[in-house]
Amino acid sequence: MAKLSIRDLDVSGKAVLMRVDFNVPLNDAGEITDDTRIVSALPSIKQLLSGGARLTLCSHLGRPKNESDLKYSLRPAAIRLSELLNQDVAFADSCISEQAAAARTALQAGEIILLENTRFYPEEKSNDADFAKALAGGAEIFVNDAFGTAHRAHASTEGVTHHIAQSAMGLLIERELEFLCEKLESPSSPFLVIMGGAKVSDKIEVITALLDKADTFIIGGAMAYTFRKAQGHAVGDSLVENDKLDLALDILKKADELNTRFLLPADTRITQEFKNGAETKVTDSYADGGNIPDGWEGIDIGDVAIDEFCAEISQAGTIVWNGPMGVFEINSFEAGTKAVTEAVAKSSALSIVGGGDSVTAVKKYGLADQVSFISTGGGASLELLEGKQLPGVTALTDS
């Protein structure tokens, strides 16, 4: 996937359109509560500005109903970016209006403007050619640094490349491809994949793609109950995909045929009340016939599973982790996810963390700086791990 990089560009005095991911969370007062995505774009933005680009940024925010809605305005992002850059950041009330076009044309070298939410127009998601051309405007260069939306063929990620001479990846996408593609071509052994979350169906393609490449899989979260029920264990009131039981058995069979170790939780922490401070207990080991009784539901991996999983993590050479071990947002149910997070952070392995909840866990426990790489794109990172092409990357100019 050799694509033109921002490092290869001469942007002096040139009009550059850059797709960023400023889809930041806002509170009811319209204030940004987490500016991580803006901060993540700073290296590319600073490089372009220092190189003398006349820089226009575009992004989406939230899910507006294809019309202007102040609730989803990017103006707070422009204000925060101005503070971070310590320079003025102009803001256009539309992304394709005459006012926006005039403001872009008036930019001088080293100046920057942020356009209003691209999703105020339905043509953005439908990748309408006319809208893409208008958004491209007079740009001579397009830079995509919005990895979180690179798996979508939208006008601002794919469509504009057909109307701009050069299209390159930013530093953020470049780093995502380095870790999720290049470093996993020949991963250091043992290669451990940790999968959690609610549904087998959400991760089936990743599991299938990595099953013959990984040495070991660890399965946690609610998806583990689907596997355990498929094996004949009672799972009480736990979340289960009953239509995926045969699929779970097929995965276990294929793992056995490939001699890939597939570790399910040896035991489960369960509760009758889904709230902080609720009573919990741990089931017997499944090897000894452990089951979850009716009226109880699994909310975390058990104590034996924690010990087994952490021991496995300590021996790994490469770790890919996507999905928590349980409902870690509730402190009473966080033991498994916290222990796995700490084990991954302590490991000397190359550790790649992807998926919103896994990233949230790493940050919750203050260990983000102790893993090798944190992916910024949930769906995009999963699709890369599945071996799929990302439209927002494929459309870029070949290097």
Residues with catalytic roles? 37, 199, 356, 379
The number of beta carbons lying within 10 Å of the beta carbon of residue 28 is 6
Beta bridge partners of 28: none
Q: SS in 3 state form for 71-115?
A: HHCCHHHHHHHHHHHCCCCEEECCCCCHHHHHHHHHCCCCCEEEE
Nearest to 104 by CA among 146, 67, 144, 135: 135
Task: Give the C-alpha separation, 173 to 367, whole Å.
Answer: 23
Task: Give the C-alpha separation, 158 to 178, whole Å.
Answer: 21
For the chain, helix (H) and strand (E) counts, in that order, are 14, 15
Instruction: Calculate the alpha carbon distances from 390 to 16, 209, 322, 361, 397 in Å.
Output: 22, 16, 19, 26, 14
Task: Give the C-alpha separation, 89 to 105, whole Å.
Answer: 15
